[in-house]
Amino acid sequence: MTPDLTPQFLELIRLAATDLPPDVEAALRQAVEQEEPGSAARGALETILKNVELSRANQTPICQDTGTPIFYVYHPEGWSTRKLRQQIEEAVVQATQKSYLRPNSVDSLSGKNSGNNLGGNYFPTIHFEEVEGDALTVDLMLKGGGCENVGAQYSLPYNTLKAGRDLEGVRRVVLDAVHQAQGQGCAPGILGVAIGGDRGSGYYASKEVLFRRLDDENENPELAHLEKRLTEEANQLGIGPMGFGGKTTVLGTKITALNRLPASYFVTVSYMCWAYRRRRMVWQDGNVSFE
């Protein structure tokens, strides 16, 4: 019933690690034009683009921190998630041997690196969800530590920023998160924002929303407006690529809203670096495509 897709998973990892998606590259190319000729900001973006081309051509990792591999697996009824997990883990081990991935899984107590990117049930992170139809869709994001470390979760009301439980409050804390991050998450970044949920689901959804394309528009007009506004205002902060100063601090903002408890109002911000490595694989009737 469940086919062996290990080689396809390996290809998905290779693609994610070495080949930046076209929408991200296009946004970076646009950003270069915004920066002053000769500025450190422009120099940084130019180097970034040269690196993107080189990684694609040589099939080497865009960034050496190949992050936590985060898989979202949407499978048809009747598939074995146990087998899928085994296949994904095997593909991760092979990708590490081929230097598409850096050995990144460290035992938090002993400090030992497992050497093969496996370790417990959360490394790699795999979310399974059963869906209608007969297609298997697997989304993969490689999220590095530098940008993960500058993610933030706020519990509103948040008095220091006079942020109440409304979209204005959301705006305030998100801008604060961008300011706190400075260049540390390898700006220009992409903001994944979840409003509501609990602490766990908030972070989950703030990453899931990062699978949206950079150039799409939020279906909710209020959120669509806030996404645009936050991107513009974050760029007014002048932090710039790598924190060198400049016009490009974020490339985009993606917001989602979850139901919450009456007592809680969390705003969760996942910061994704410019090395926005996310890819999708779709399998149907024995055919595989990647986007």
Indicate whether 80 belongs to the interface with another protein (CB under 8 A).
no
In the bound complex, what is the minimum distance in angstroms from residue 50's beta carbon to another protein? 6
Q: What string marks each residue from 117 to 156 as x (binds another protein by CB under 8 A) or -? A: ----------------------------xx--x-------
Cα gap 282→265, rounded to integer Å: 35
Of 59, 105, 22, 30, nearest to 278 by C-alpha is 22
Q: Which two tokens stand for residue 192?
A: 């994944």
67 binds, among another protein, ligand SF4, none (CB under 5 to 8 A by kind): ligand SF4
Which run of H or of E encompasses 22? helix 22-34
Indicate whether 177 belongs to the interface with ligand SF4 (CB under 6 A).
no
Total residues interacting with ligand SF4, rule: CB under 6 A: 11
Nearer to another protein, 54 or 131 (CB): 54
Indicate whether 113 belongs to the interface with another protein (CB under 8 A).
yes
CA angle centred on 178, ends 55 and 233, rounded to 5°: 105
250 binds, among ligand SF4, another protein, none (CB under 5 to 8 A by kind): none
Nearer to ligand SF4, 51 or 114 (CB): 51
Q: What phi and psi, each to the nearest 5 degrees, are found at residue 154?
A: -115, 145
* Structural contact between residues 62 and 17, judged by C-beta atoms closer than 8 angstroms: yes
Give me the DSSP letters along 233-282: HHHHT---GGGS-SS-SEEEEEEEE----TT--EEEEEEE-S--EEEEEE
In the bound complex, what is the minimum distance in angstroms from residue 274's beta carbon to another protein? 6
Indicate whether 186 belongs to the interface with ligand SF4 (CB under 6 A).
yes
Binding site for ligand SF4 (CB under 6 A): 63, 65, 67, 144-147, 185-186, 273, 275
